[in-house]
Structure 1
């Protein structure tokens, strides 16, 4: 079964270092909490809001050992009025036997506003 694992984070400004760093820590936690093996990963999609343009966030994934051959694609979010600014969203497509409710979706910084229901569920799962 292929499952999608979601994550999102925000940055304070469109600076390469902060974008790569924030994306790296988001991906690292997604991988750790869900025990993701790159060999079980079909692909990774990373989207950004229009106000992020200084670097491809996928650069962060290439810094994680073992992930150099996993297909990754960056794209733009649709520009919805009043959407969360400076936001990076990630979708990892992974082959797993886990049930939907066992997947831990990860949200950092202001992105916790996107899915507070899942953030709370993840915290309970961590307890």
Structure 2
């Protein structure tokens, strides 16, 4: 078993606590479903948000998922690159898994599919 990085991203329309938590929960559920792992397999989760998101911590949504209370989570802000995708939440998980790198399914939802259309297309073909 090795450690793999599993990435995901999503967007919100408005900077509200409800939108942040709902979008984060949706993204996490999809990452878990597509890659089939348990919280005890996760070494850490890094969550970043663009600077236009400040109404709540996305980590709160993950902590509400049963079994995820003890997984180390960290939120931070993205580098404010001009013309980058606005209102974006990104997740990078370090997971102990037997999946080969080409078997990992990275998940990009909503407007975040623009970030990595190559991975979004690959996952659509293998789902």
Coarse TM-score class (shorter-chain normalised)? over 0.9
How many residues are paired up? 126
In structure 2, the residue matched to 1:124 is 125
1:75 Cα deviation (Å)?
A: 0.4
In structure 2, the residue matched to 1:77 is 78
In structure 2, the residue matched to 1:39 is 40
Unaligned runs of 5+ in 2: none
What TM-score comes out, normalization by structure 1 length? 0.98
| Deviations 1:9-45, CA, capped at 9 Å, x for gaps | 0000100000000000000110111001111100000
> Structure 1: which 4+ aligned runs deviate by more than 4 Å?
none
d(CA) in 2 for partners of 1:8, 1:52: 14
RMSD between aligned residues: 0.5
1:63 Cα deviation (Å)?
A: 1.3
Q: Secondary structure at the match of 2:19?
A: helix
In structure 2, the residue matched to 1:86 is 87
Q: Secondary structure at the match of 2:8?
A: strand
d(CA) in 2 for partners of 1:69, 1:33: 22
Unaligned runs of 5+ in 1: none
